[in-house]
A and B are shown apart, each in its own frame.
Chain A
Amino acid sequence: MIELRHVSKRYKRGGQFVPVLHDLSLTVAGGEFLALMGPSGSGKSTLLNLIAGIDRPDSGEILIDGRDIARMNETELAQWRAQHVGFIFQFYNLIPVLTAFENVALPLQLTDLRDSEKKARVLNALTMVGLADRLDHTPSELSGGQQQRVAIARALITDPRIIVADEPTGDLDRQSAHDILGMLQGLNRDMGKTILMVTHDPKAAEHARRIVHLEKGQLEAGAAIAMPAPVTAPMKKTDAHF
C-alpha cells in the first residue's frame, strides 16, 4: 500500500519558492491502477516522482508498505527503487548505444542473479512485450511504440511491485498508445502490479481503475471507475518470475 500524509513540495525558480504540492494526502491500494490527471504545473509529475523515490518532499510522509521512503538516505533509496519500482518514461529513456536486450538487462546488473537466469528473464520480458525478434536492435532501429515496449520490459525485469509511468503514451501514435495502455492494463490485471500513470489524455486515463485530478498542488477529486474490457489479449505470464 502507498500512503502519502500531508506531503508538501516547493521548487526554487528564479530566486523564489514556487509551491508545487501543498499538504497532499493520498492512499493507493496495492494492485491499483491509478491515473493522475491535471493541467500543466498542477504537480502530478512531482507527485509521481515522490512516490517513485526520485525526489524528496519538503515535509510529510510517504509510506510504502509501512516504510517512510522520505527518511531514507540516497543509497537506501537507490536500493529501494531498484527492488520495488519500475519506470516508464514519456520519451522511453533507453540507453542509445545498448541493444534492446542490453537495455532490458540493465537493472539486473544490480542483482546477484546468475548470467543464465538474467538472460532467461530478459528473453521472457521481451517475449512478453512482443519483441523477441528485436533483441539486437538499438533504440534508433525501433519505432516509438517498440521503444516504449522495451521500456516496459525494462520496468518489469526486476519484478517490482510498483510501476510508475509518466505520460507513457505522450510521444506515440494512436495505435501504439492503445497497445501500450492495453499492456499496462494487462500488467495490473494479470500480474497484480500497482501502476501509477500520469497523463493528459482522458482516453488514456480511462484505462485506469481510478482517476485522481490535481489542481494547484492539491487533490481535486477522486473517483473509482470501472475497469474497461480488455482491449488486447491478456498478458501471458511466462516461466520467468515476474
Chain B
Amino acid sequence: MRGAVPAAVVIAAGLWPAAATAQETWLLVVSGVGGNASYRQTFVDRSIQLLEAAQERFGIPASHITYLAERIELADGRAAARSTREEVDAAITDIAARCNPGDQVLIVLIGHGSTQGEGGRFALPGPDMGPADFAPLLGRLSQQRVGFVNTASASGGFLALAGPGRVVVTATRAGQREEPLFGQFFVEAFSAEGADTDKDQGVSLLESFVYARTEVARAYDLEGTLRTENALLDDDGDGKGTETPEASDGDGALARRFVLGGVYGSARLAGVADDAELRSMLEKRGEHQAAFDHLRAAKAELAEDDYLTQLEELLVQIAELDTAIRARNEAAQ
C-alpha cells in the first residue's frame, strides 16, 4: 500500500461500471463481556483499532459507524451505548432505517462465546445472544449486503445466520472453546499492511479472512502447539462454511466483493460523475478488467507462452490506462 489514498479515484479490480454508483458501508462493532480487566481492555482496544481503520483508512463516515461496549467509560468516548441485547437490537434497527438498498453492513462481535444454547452464545452484559436472537435482526437488512463476523470462541453455530447476500465468518467451529487468536488477526487485516493482496487499496472480507487464517496458523506453528481453532466463512448461503474460501466460486465469491475502502469507498468516488472523459476511461478500464478476468479464467486451457504473452499485453494496457487515470485525477486536484 502506498500510504493513504487522497485521490478521488481508486483503481481497483472488478465491477467497474458499478463503481459509478454510490454504495455506502455501515459498521457495527459490539464488544462483549470481558470477564476480567485484561480481556475487557483487550476487547475494547481491538474494537477501537477496527473503528479507527474503518474511519481513517477506509473513509467510512463516523455517522455510519456504531460501537457498543461492555463498559462505556473504557471506550475512549467512542461507544454509543452499552452492548446489551436491547442496544444491539436498537443499533441494527437504526442502521436498517438509515441505509439504502444495495449498501453493505458489517457487524463484528468481539468478545467471549460459549456453547450454551442452540448454536452457542455471544457473551453480553445481561442476556447473551445466540444465532436465533440475531436472525430476526438481520432480517431487517434483507435489501443490503451483510457481513456478520463473530470473533469469539465456540462461534461456529452462528453459521446458521447464513443466507442470500450474507457473508458469515466465525472464528471457530462449533464447540471449540479455547480463546481464539482469529479476532486479533482479523482486525489487524484492516489496520495493518499486508491483507490487501489484490492492491485495490481496500480490504475485502475474503482478504481479511485469509490474512487472519494464515497468521493464526503461523502463530500456532511458531508456538509449536496444535491449532485449536478453525475459522469458517460462508457466503453461498448453505450454512456449512469453509476454512478455505475461494474468490472464484462457492464460498468466497461474495466475500471478495465485500470490500472496505477501495473502489467502494464512497469518499473516493467524488468527481467521477462530473468528468465524462474520466468516466469513459473508467469504463474502458472496466473492459480491460473483464478481459483480464476472462484470460485468467482461461489460463488452464492456454499454452503457457500464449497465456503469458496475452497477459503481459493486457497488463501493460491496464497499467497505461491506470497511469492516465491517475494523472488526470491528480491534475484535477
Q: Do A and B bind each other?
A: no
